Structure 1
Amino acid sequence: MIDPRHGAGFPRLATPIWRGAQRIVEPLMPYLWPYTRKGTELPRGPAVVTPNHLSFVDPVFVAIAIGRPLRYLTSEIVLGQHPRFDDLINWMGIIPLDLGRIPLRPLRTALAHLESGGTVGVFPEGRRALEWREAPAKQGAAWLAIRTGTPLVPVSIAGSFEAMGDDKKLRRRPITVTVGEPLLPHRFADRSEMTEAWIEWMDEHHKG
């Protein structure tokens, strides 16, 4: 069933799962990781949230920083790890991408979610990258923002790879999430220019 409060196609279970996870994880953050949030509050209405991507746990840190349920466009390789995990992330409303195909269906889903007031998370680098600028930024997030007239919100995450690296072991390391001022689509000529503005913001604000 659809949850009308957070956009088209958002599973009804997604909202209580997000809220429940937030209530559980947020009080534990000081004990797990020294966590700092900087920057602005997310504007009301739809948004395309665009973090850099260092670690498997980045979606958790971003969700806590923005304080609302969101649907991530993410590679379908996250599926198939465990049936219960698959159930959980499907209930949370992820939009899986088949990297071997043109993602027409996922993009339609993301567009519909934004057009009905939801929030979509996109990692412009397209994969985890241990160093900023290691992976070139793709223009899909800017395309979604311009197509729907939705603000694109840059987000910097620092320290998350040290907190959970490729070995998937949790370590107590400081995490900093910085939420930037929204980039408004009408101020950019095209998705390339908007993506370049995201890169410039990251160059200025990303510290790790």
Structure 2
Amino acid sequence: MKYVVIGPVIKAIFRPWVVGRSNIPARGAAILASNHLSFADSIFLPLMIDRPMSFLAKSDYFTGRGLKGWATKMFFKATGQIPIDRSGGKASEASLNTGLQVLGRGDLLGIYPEGTRSPNGILYRGRTGIARMALEAGVPVIPVVMVDTDAIQPIGRRIPRIGRVGVVIGEPLDFTRFAGLSDDRYVLRSVTDEIMVALQRIGGQRYDDVYASAVKERLEQARNTEPVTSGAPLD
């Protein structure tokens, strides 16, 4: 579903730009693989393409309480977000099946291969779930780079600053040469790395071959172990 009411308002305020919109097929299923800098990515990407699309979004966005929780839930539903459990194991399998259902309908599915927002603007190692989904569904993967969304809404900021953001859409990546190999972990890693290389080439982000989640954990541990000083003068 498009942003029938708020879409024109968002465009007027933030004046987003897009390059490569013609790389989105007019029909048929495809995966849009995007870098992930900000919560705002899930707002601007669907806004700037001409077809409806769905994102696999963490289930926490649909379970908030109070007015804010209700508003967040309604927003995500209105913009085609699908709640998934990211706890791993059987939940990961369920997420995969949910994505395959979207692709099976011939629709567009948005995925953040890094699995979480980058904590510092660096592009990190991709999770292989996107490769498995692409091979099982037999669909192309379209690399998408979000530009400056972290400048208007960095992690921790609830209300975006006013500023321009952009979307760069690359040419579709065809992985049909790997048909029938969706259970080969070496193939899955190779496909995922090819997707991340395409994102890095298009966006020019610095790349670090570690998982963003691990970096976040290290940063959180560092914050928790920082010495607390009272500011009192020394004797």
Give the TM-score band, short-chain normalised: 0.7 to 0.9
| CA shift for structure 1 position 115 | 1.4
* CA deviation profile, 1:126-155 (whole Å, cap 9, x unmatched): 11103222x321111121111111111100
Per the alignment, do residues 64 and 187 of structure 1 end up closer, same or farther by CA in structure 2, a change over 3 Å counting? farther
- Deviating beyond 4 angstroms after TM superposition, the runs of 4 or more aligned structure 1 residues are none
Kept in 1, the 8 Å contact 2:140–2:172? The answer is: yes
The SS at the match of 1:124 is coil
User: Does 2:196 correspond to 1:199?
Assistant: yes
CA distance in 2, matches of 1:204, 1:106: 28
Matched with 2:116 is 127
User: Does 2:60 correspond to 1:100?
Assistant: no
| CA shift for structure 1 position 83 | 2.0
The SS at the match of 1:66 is coil
The amino acid that maps onto 2:100 is: L
Per the alignment, do residues 87 and 61 of structure 1 end up closer, same or farther by CA in structure 2, a change over 3 Å counting? closer
CA distance in 1, matches of 2:194, 2:49: 20
CA distance in 2, matches of 1:124, 1:107: 13
The SS at the match of 1:20 is coil
Per the alignment, do residues 35 and 99 of structure 1 end up closer, same or farther by CA in structure 2, a change over 3 Å counting? same
Instruction: Point out the more displaced range, 55-64 or 77-86.
Output: 77-86
Calculate the TM-score normalised by the size of structure 1. 0.81
Matched with 1:12 is none
The amino acid that maps onto 2:30 is: A
CA distance in 2, matches of 1:27, 1:93: 19
Give the number of aligned pairs. 188
| CA shift for structure 1 position 205 | 1.3
Matched with 2:14 is 33
Per the alignment, do residues 28 and 101 of structure 1 end up closer, same or farther by CA in structure 2, a change over 3 Å counting? closer
Aligned positions of 1:93-172 closer than 5 A: 93-102=80-89, 103-129=92-118, 130-133=120-123, 135-165=124-154, 166-172=156-162
The amino acid that maps onto 2:60 is: I
The amino acid that maps onto 1:198 is: I
CA distance in 2, matches of 1:35, 1:93: 20
Matched with 2:62 is 79
The SS at the match of 1:177 is strand
Per the alignment, do residues 19 and 131 of structure 1 end up closer, same or farther by CA in structure 2, a change over 3 Å counting? closer
Question: Is the radius of gyration larger for structure 1 or structure 2?
Answer: 2
Per the alignment, do residues 19 and 33 of structure 1 end up closer, same or farther by CA in structure 2, a change over 3 Å counting? closer
Identity of aligned residues (%): 25
Per the alignment, do residues 100 and 50 of structure 1 end up closer, same or farther by CA in structure 2, a change over 3 Å counting? same
The amino acid that maps onto 1:174 is: R
The amino acid that maps onto 1:158 is: V
CA distance in 2, matches of 1:27, 1:137: 34
Matched with 1:65 is 48
* CA deviation profile, 1:37-71 (whole Å, cap 9, x unmatched): 11242012101111101111101211123222112
The amino acid that maps onto 1:192 is: R
CA distance in 1, matches of 2:164, 2:107: 30
Per the alignment, do residues 19 and 56 of structure 1 end up closer, same or farther by CA in structure 2, a change over 3 Å counting? closer
CA distance in 1, matches of 2:86, 2:202: 29
CA distance in 2, matches of 1:95, 1:174: 27
Instruction: Point out the more displaced range, 53-62 or 182-191.
Output: 182-191
RMSD of aligned Cα (Å): 2.1
Could you tell me which runs of 5 or more consecutive residues in structure 1 were left unpaired when the two chains were aligned: 1-14
The SS at the match of 1:56 is coil
